[in-house]
Amino acid sequence: MHWPPCREGDAIGNLASPALSLGTLLADYDIEAIVETGVGHGGSMKHALSLGRPLVYFGCDCDPEAIRICKEMVPNAILSQTDSVSFLRNLLAEPQPFAMPALWFLDAHFGAHEDAWPLLAELDLIAACKPNVDRDVIVVDDIRCIADEANPRYWPGELGAPYVRSEHAWAEYTAPFIKTHTVHVRLEDEGYLLLLPRITGAERGPQ
């Protein structure tokens, strides 16, 4: 797919960024739900639901004020005040695991806990527990934090501790999806990793 360049002044660090072309992603992959870890003050949610597609929106945040703001903004959103790993475990739990085609926006790094970096655990949970994960789109924000020369968006010297993360290699983040998804990197904003299904919604046929 084609992404247009970002323009100065556009939203960054959430799904409203032009770097992501969210409307195109939702349409190309027949997305029915968005799952966001780290909803903040709802910038991603507001943008996604403004696009006119019928979507179920799930999200979490450790900050009670963030949850309050988002619930007032979108009363029908399914939101949890908890950490992202607990949230995903509950969402993907048997006997009725969450199964609809989804776009996952993983943005729960740091936040209330300066050293929080749950990204690999989040990706492993989604890959292992989500039914039909090969239909899903995964978007990771803030990849500039991953200190590995294999990461195109890691620019040494841009960030300091604790925001530089070197405990896992770049390849470990993409490995759970390498057979089912293609790997794309956007350099704009704080950097995005996109894991896109190898086939589009039209090619999949009935679910």
Whole-number pLDDT of residue 78:
95
> Residue ranges of the chain with pLDDT lower than 70?
1-13, 111-115, 200-207
Phi, psi of 33 (to 5 degrees): -145, 150
Whole-number pLDDT of residue 8:
34
Lookup: tokens for 13: 């660090």
- CATH pick for 23-204 out of 3.40.50.150, 1.10.357.10, 3.40.50.1820, 3.40.50.1100: 3.40.50.150
Whole-number pLDDT of residue 97:
72
Whole-number pLDDT of residue 19:
93
Q: What is the pTM of this model?
A: 0.90
Phi-psi bin for 38: left (phi > 0), alpha (psi -120 to 50), beta?
left
Whole-number pLDDT of residue 96:
76
| H or E element in which residue 202 lies | helix 201-204
Burial class (CB in 10 A: 0-12, 13-18, 19+), 152: middle
Whole-number pLDDT of residue 174:
97
DSSP designation for 96: S
Whole-number pLDDT of residue 125:
96
Buried b (16+ CB within 10 A) or exposed e, 12-47: ebbbbbbbbbbeebbebbbbbbbbbbbbbebbbbbb
Q: Residue ranges per domain, the chain?
A: 23-204
